[in-house]
Structures are given as structure tokens and as C-alpha cells.
Amino acid sequence: ISSDYDAKEQKIAKAKEIANMASQAQKDMVEKIIKSKYIKKGEGEKIGDLNKLTKKDASSYISYWFGTDGKLGERDKRELEEKESPLKKIVEKEPTIEKRDPNGDSSLVKDLLIEAIQAKRKELYIEDDEKFKKEIGYNPELKELSEKELLKLNGLLKDWRPDWVKK
């Protein structure tokens, strides 16, 4: 009789364990959290194996990430933070900007314009300073030009074609 009782207790414990496991919908939501572009490095590993996730843990992760009634979740906060600081992406992607001289009189806009103009010069095969001055009529020393002149030059280069290209 005791073995029947033990088997029944084991079945009850197994049923409770299964009932305590996260549903497939919860697992899918937590998986979306892990794959989110707003998740920080290491946060996904803290969640662990989705097959061992309990309902309680899944609910807490989901409410933390997506928020609860009337409260912003962590995902929304990070998305807003990213939208508020668009320069953050530029600084992360453009290592040349980080190397700017903090004592220099150059602005971020001017540096970005110079980079764009240099790329366009390369694309149009007018990297040579003398050829650039002759063809375009601007000083090849771009750092000496003002932002206004750089804007004009950038606009000019967008439409400029060499003489040997038929229009």
C-alpha cells in the first residue's frame, strides 16, 4: 500500500511541477525579450533555459520588460532613451568622432560634413587636391572651410559629374 501511496505522491509532485512551469505563450514572450535589440549584454543569459522557466519567473520577466498597467517597462524606457540621444549611435558607430580634439574649434556637424565630402571625393575620383581645386573650385583643405561653405560643397558634389561622363 505504501508503494501505491508513494507513486501517487510522485505523480502529484510531478503534476504540481508541470502546473508550475511557464506556458508556451510565456516562453515565447521571454524568448522575444532575449532576442530584443534593447537587451543588454548578459541579461539574456541570466534568464537561463526557457524549458525550466516557472510561471512566476516568466511573469516577473514579462512585467519587468513590457511594464504593467500604467507603468513603463524596461524596453520602453530604453527605446525612449535611444530616441532622446540620437548622437549616441553616431558616437558608437563612428570611431573618428571619438578622436576629435576637445580643445579644437571644430564642430560635430563640420566633422561629419568633412567625412561625407571625403567619401564623395573618393567616389568621384577627385581625391587629388590639385584636380579637386581645378574641377570644383574649392579649397581642398576642408578644415579651413566654414560649415556654410561645406554644406554648399556637399550639395555641389551630390550632383557633380566629371566632364567625361555623359549627362
Q: Per residue in 91-142, pLDDT tens? A: 555 444 444 455 555 677 888 888 888 888 888 778 888 887 888 887 788 8
Look at residue 157 in the predicted model and tell me its pLDDT.
Answer: 83
Which residue blocks in 70-146 are alpha helix, DSSP H? 74-84, 87-93, 95-98, 108-123, 129-136
Task: Write down the pTM of the prediction.
Answer: 0.43
CA distance 29 to 55: 12
